[in-house]
Amino acid sequence: TDEQHQAHFDATIAADTPIEAKDWMPDAYRQTLIRQIGQHAHSEVIGMLPEANWLTRAPSLRRKAILLAKIQDEAGHGLYLYSAAETLGCSRQDIYEKMLDGKMKYSSIFNYPTLNWADVGVIGWLVDGAAIVNQVALCRTSYAPYARAMVKICKEESFHQRQGYEAAMAMANGSAAQRAMLQDSINRFWWPALMMFGPTDTDSPNSAQSMAWKIKRHSNDELRQKFVDNTVPQLEALGMTAPDPDLKWDEASGHYRFGTINWDEFYQVIKGYGLCNHERVGDKRRAWESGRWVREAAMAHAEKNAAKAA
Ligand code: FAQ
């Protein structure tokens, strides 16, 4: 019966035993995972766009090769995540089209423009850095196919973070103009990076249930604090500052205290009114339309082969 299934599921979660694709699960658990994994996948593929803006203008062949490899990794992460979502019974095409139609979200951070070369380093350092803090926690998420995807993604993400920091270090050790460019980029990406963790715990409608199901292992605010604590020493090592006059070390708690996030800006961006929402979704829609013949040709080829085999 459903009660027996539910009791077994609850006991499995309580015992910290992962849930596999073929296990019984409550429908709301399945829907929450499709939402979160789907949004995560969309973020990876939309996240390719801001960096791609600088591919043709990378300052050296070495930087260009590194950036190309990183962007290809993001495509790969999108594919692992779409596959993980599909294990829950959704169709990849359906959730992708929902993203194109603005019915599914992707991370707020990718709606900001990349205005200078330092942004490429700062995205690797701060954006991938924030992503790792969130994703390391997700390696222990209760849904096994999602957790397994995260393990590989985290390894690649940590390489991304280091390449970003190394690029930022090169600029910090460069000319006054390069240091100014780096500081300008940090000023623009600092607050949006903190927003990646989502609303505060008191304003996060999904957190309580997702924590109870052990989909989320740490709250939005806990992970945001961990990111700030990790990052401030790195900022200081570069000789740069954060655009936050309230940022300071608090000896008593052993944490950095930081100022108030502009939540109006956050909600504007996730409702579709950020600086680049229109451009990002427009680019993906154009790519989807212009790739239609490739999808159709691949299907026709597969059908022909299947007919031959029969
Ligand atoms: N942006 O109740 P909560 C990457 C939405 S890393 C947009 O707290 P939840 C790597 C949230 O969906 C970025 N929307 O929700 C990379 C919900 O709306 P809904 C991707 C946000 O799910 C680097 C509503 O607000 N990482 O791509 C954001 O419990 C460089 C209420 O929020 C992930 O997706 C936001 N920042 O917690 C790639 C990690 N925050 O769905 C390329 C997996 C919240 O009810 C280049 N996801 N919302 O309509 C998660 O861990 C969670 O989903 C949270 C949100 C923590 C993001």
Residue 1: pLDDT band by 50, 70, 90 thresholds? confident
CA dist 146 and 143 (Å) reads 6
C-alpha 223 to ligand 1 mean position (Å): 12
Instruction: At 218, list the tokens.
Output: 């740490």
Q: What is the rounded CA–CA span in Å between residue 242 and residue 248? A: 10
Confidence of residue 132 (pLDDT cuts 50, 70, 90): very high
| Residue 14 scores a pLDDT above 90 | yes
CB 111 within 8 A of CB 270: no
Among 33, 36, 155, residue to substitute to test ligand 1 (most atoms within 8 Å of Cβ): 36
Q: Would you call 154 helix, strand, or coil by DSSP?
A: helix
Instruction: Name all residues whose Cβ lies below 6 A of ligand 1.
Output: 35-36, 39-40, 43-44, 47, 74, 105, 107-108, 123, 127-128, 131, 134, 195-199, 204-207, 210, 220, 270
pLDDT in tens, 135-184: 999 999 999 999 999 999 999 999 999 999 999 999 999 999 999 999 99
Cβ atoms 259, 247 nearer than 8 A: yes
* Eight-state DSSP code of residue 257: E
pTM: 0.96
Mutate to test the pocket of ligand 1, among 32, 33, 35, 39 (most ligand atoms within 8 A of CB): 39
pLDDT digits (tens, 9 = 90+) for 271-300: 999 999 999 999 999 999 999 999 999 999
Report which residue type is found at 7: A
Report the pLDDT averaged over residues 89-94.
96
Give the span between the Cα atoms of 261 and 199, in whole angstroms: 9
Q: Ligand 1 centroid vs 2 CA: distance in angstroms?
A: 31
User: How far is residue 243's CA from residue 183's CA, in Å, rounded to a whole number?
Assistant: 9
Report d(CA 177, CA 200) in Å as an integer: 37
Residues 6+ apart with CB under 8 A from 210: 32, 36, 216
